[in-house]
Amino acid sequence: MKEIIFVSGASRGIGNSIAKYFAEKGHIVLGTSRSKFKFDTQSDKLIPIQLDITSREDVKNCFKYLKEQNLLPSVLVNNAGITSDQLFLRMKDSEWDDVLSTNLTGVFNLTKVFIKHMIKNKYGRIINISSVSGLMGNPGQVNYSSSKAALNGFTKSLAKEVGSRNITVNNVAPGFIETDMTSFIDADKKDEIINTIPLGRFGNADDVSELVYFLSSNEAAYITGQTISVDGGLLMY
């Protein structure tokens, strides 16, 4: 079945890869970013939208527009996220607020507007992109780890609320993935990190897209409330 997919933060990195992956499979993808952008692949399936997910007003206007266009999604990928790393003692209020408002409240804002349509249709897939940092912690990331750990609770509680409506809610927790977000890591530090990853490399964005695609598929219909890591074995329970 061809579906409409909404991917936040699709201008680059993991979200960009997810958007293109779904479009290649023939789905219509609505991909957002704060800045005006174009997809670097020519496809009438890829629709770029400028949207700051921290603005409730903008999110509501976007919802209204998509409803008018008959483009409400059945799959929501809450991917957009930011870091603003700092040791806790030096962390500014704004560094805490910015990360929480994007990584957690942004997920709330988007899910709130799109879930009603899924409930009405008795079908939907919500996939949140969290992080191993939210599962194992990371120095300098109290704000980021907190926001991503919160997504685990968000996912489980919502999965319990909407399971009876045939809506699944899952979390994907990437480890170190080669994107702009990890591009600041210098070569020595990168080697140090790679030594802790059993598969001996950083992941690429497609490693994440394939799992997201699977979780959106019928084959994953009986999986909900889970956090699944894509991290080369960095974190094992």
Ligand X SMILES: NC(=O)c1ccc[n+]([C@@H]2O[C@H](COP(=O)([O-])OP(=O)(O)OC[C@H]3O[C@@H](n4cnc5c(N)ncnc54)[C@H](OP(=O)(O)O)[C@@H]3O)[C@@H](O)[C@H]2O)c1
- Give yes or no: 65 in active site: no
99 binds ligand X (CB under 6 A): no
**How many chain residues are in contact with ligand X, going by CB under 6 A?**
31
Q: Under rule CB under 6 A, which residues in 127-186 are in contact with ligand X?
A: 129, 131, 174, 176-177, 179-182
Which residue is catalytic, options 21, 65, 123, 144?
Answer: 144
Cβ neighbours of residue 102 closer than 8 Å, sequence gap 6 or more: 53, 54, 80, 81, 82, 147
Task: Give the integer Cα–Cα distance in Å for 229 and 226.
Answer: 10
Whose Cβ is closer to ligand X: residue 146's or residue 166's? Answer: 146
The Cα–Cα gap between 180 and 169 comes to: 27
- Say if residues 92 and 86 touch (Cβ distance below 8 Å): yes
Site for ligand X in 35-54 (CB under 6 A): 35, 51-54
List 13, 73, 124, 232, residue binding ligand X (CB under 6 A)? 13
Length of the chain equals 237
CB of 162 to ligand X, least distance (A): 22
Neighbours of 154 (CB within 10 A): 20
8-state DSSP, 132: T
Site string for ligand X, 196-235 (x = CB under 6 A): ----------------------------------------
- Give me the active site residues, please: 144
